[in-house]
Amino acid sequence: MNFKEFKNYFKKDVTKKYNVKNSKNIYYTNNDLKIAYQKAIQFYKKNFNPILLKQGNLKLEKNVLIWDLPSIITCKHACNGCYALKSERIYKNTRIMRAYHLAIVLMAIDHKRKMNYLQKYLQNEINEHVKNFKLPVVRIHSSGDFFNKKYLQLWLQIAMNNKACNFYTYSKILTNNEIDIINKIISNFNIVKSLINGKFINFGDNEYIEKLVNICKQEKEPCHVCDYGQKDSKMTCMGNCTACLHCSNVIFHKH
């Protein structure tokens, strides 16, 4: 993959169903992408040892590491109120980091040696993380999604090779059936359905949340309503609440 091919990836059309205005991610500059691409080339040199998995945001406990990709182009949806997109608009370093991760993956997808190197590299970081926490967790994608089947397989294999760590993620790309199968097969890997019943985005105001809960009841599927950001909430993500590690229907208040 040369730089032109990488840059063109950011021009791909995405689903405009949820928000036409944000259907193209316009915040990545040419300079951002150049920096990310060069860092990705550097990554596959043996004398370069960056930290790929970083501790999460203020919402998450310190036992959580995060891996992110660019929003919109990898999740293939443009959602109104997208939190990940806001970060990319505001923070240059966030844009570069996410583009850097994507470049690393794109360079490895059709290159067996690089894919093996990336898998082992991430596993080594996870092994160190496991040593430091009673409940080690990796959140895949506070931004982005499984845009490619080989990329999905990378994370499934990492989870299967690291049973002492818990993995969770969210997906609009995978079907509910695919999510159910993966969640059943891999005990330490949970995918939360970003689209309840395959149609409805899993966050909104109180009235909308009530609608989602009723849909889950009709489908006879368990669901959990996260109270993060609500008045008097004492919820700590991956502290006293671990719903995203075992429930596939988690619903969030828009904040």
**pLDDT value for 167:** 98
Question: Percent of the chain at pLDDT above 70?
Answer: 94
**pLDDT value for 255:** 64
Averaged pLDDT for residues 157-168: 98
Q: How confident is the model at residue 23 (pLDDT cuts 50, 70, 90)?
A: low
pTM over 0.85: yes
**pLDDT value for 49:** 85
Averaged pLDDT for residues 119-123: 97
- Running DSSP on this structure, what letter comes out for residue 245? G
Q: Give the model confidence (pLDDT) of 180-196 as tens digits.
A: 999 999 999 999 999 99
Tokens of 132: 């430091």
Rg (Cα) of the chain, in Å, rounded? Answer: 18
* Residue 15 clears pLDDT 70, i.e. is over it: no
Instruction: Assign 137 to helix, strand or coil.
Output: strand
Tokens of 185: 């097969």
Question: Percent of the chain at pLDDT above 90?
Answer: 72
Nearest alpha carbon to residue 231 among 253, 198, 201, 203: 253
Mean pLDDT over each residue of the chain, to the nearest integer: 91
**pLDDT value for 231:** 79
Burial track 217-235 (b if 16+ CB lie within 10 A, e otherwise)? eeeebebbbbeeeeeeeee
**pLDDT value for 25:** 65
Distance CA 125, CA 44 (A): 16
Q: How confident is the model at residue 16 (pLDDT cuts 50, 70, 90)?
A: low
Q: Give the model confidence (pLDDT) of 29-84 as tens digits.
A: 999 999 999 999 999 987 788 999 998 766 788 999 999 999 988 988 777 777 78
Long-range contacts from 125-132, C-beta under 8 angstroms, 24+ separation: 125/51, 125/52, 125/53, 125/65, 126/53, 126/65, 126/158, 126/162, 126/165, 127/162, 129/53, 129/65, 129/165, 130/162, 130/164, 130/165
